[in-house]
Amino acid sequence: MTEPHAMIELRAVSKTFVHDGRDVDVLRGIDLDVARGEMVTIVGPSGAGKSTLLHITGTLDLPTGGVVRHDGEDVTRLSSRRLAAFRNRHIGFVFQFHHLLPEFTAIENVMMPGLIQRSRRAPLRARAERLLDEVGLGHRLTHRPSELSGGEQQRVALARALVMEPPLLLADEPTGNLDSAASEAIHQLFFDLNAAHGTTFFIVTHSRELARRMPRVLSMRDGRIERDEAGSAYHERASFPGRSRPSEPPSEGATRL
């Protein structure tokens, strides 16, 4: 049986900011379906609207026009109270800057979303420990953020985003600050978590390496989704920008333009 609706449905989503008395159209009619368990990434130049799209998808911001549905429900109509509850249950967020609380240990940071919601402590702690183990930090439970490397801190943030077991994880340049080895480790974790838990991933990235491996890559430009293709196809195209018009090496004495 096919599901009646996609996990995420965006219809004619637009976003206009008013800046210095002028309208700035940041999203210009986005239509998008993301199925449960899908791994999707968004690429595109700075200012294309990637973060805005992610925030609106994650209900952190409202669209100016259009509809955002999660599991068939129009979340643009929820009260802020119901929205907060929905977000807590459904969505984990990972940002470029992890915002860990410096005075708490790794395991306390991971447990924090559950502590705020007054979840039962023993199962919460067990989940936090298991997640830290899964991200390779089982031996760093009582370290504070300042006693961890950048990559380790980002892995703690990832474990924290997953501790309430959200079906959807949204990430905005989650490895933007990390070296290539640390980035690669986090990217691998995304794939492992997707395989193990069926978590849906929606990730803004500048990493060509990650995009290449993703089943689905959305290329954004000027507030629109310009392309929707497999990561391998994106990689092929992006690696050979001159393919449709092969450039010939200049012959000797050719005028340089």
Q: Which residues bind to Mg ion, rule: CB under 5 A?
A: 51
Closest CB 48 distance from ligand ADP, rounded Å: 4
CB of 151 closer than 8 Å to CB of 178: yes
Q: How far is the CB of 172 from ligand ADP (least distance, A)?
A: 7
User: Which has the closest alpha carbon to 95: 205, 218, 17?
Assistant: 205
| Binding residue (CB under 6 A) for ligand ADP from 51, 57, 207, 219 | 51
Should residue 52 be labelled a site residue for ligand ADP when binding is judged by CB under 6 A? yes
Residues in 134-153 at the binding interface with ligand ADP, rule: CB under 6 A: none
Extract the tokens encoding 177: 């600050």
Dihedral sign for Cα atoms in the order 135, 139, 143, 149: negative
The site partner of 87 among ligand ADP, Mg ion, none (C-beta below 5 to 8 Å per kind) is: none
Q: Rule CB under 6 A: say whether 17 interacts with ligand ADP.
A: yes
Does 24 contact ligand ADP by CB under 6 A? yes
Helix (H, G, I), strand (E, B) or coil at 135: coil
Burial group, residue 195, by CB count within 10 angstroms (0-12, 13-18, 19+) = exposed
Residue 22 near ligand ADP by CB under 6 A: no
19 binds ligand ADP (CB under 6 A): yes
Among 210, 257, 208, residue whose Cα is nearest residue 237: 208
Q: Specify the residue, 49 or 151, whose C-beta has the smaller distance to Mg ion.
A: 49
Residue 47 interacts with ligand ADP (CB under 6 A)?
yes
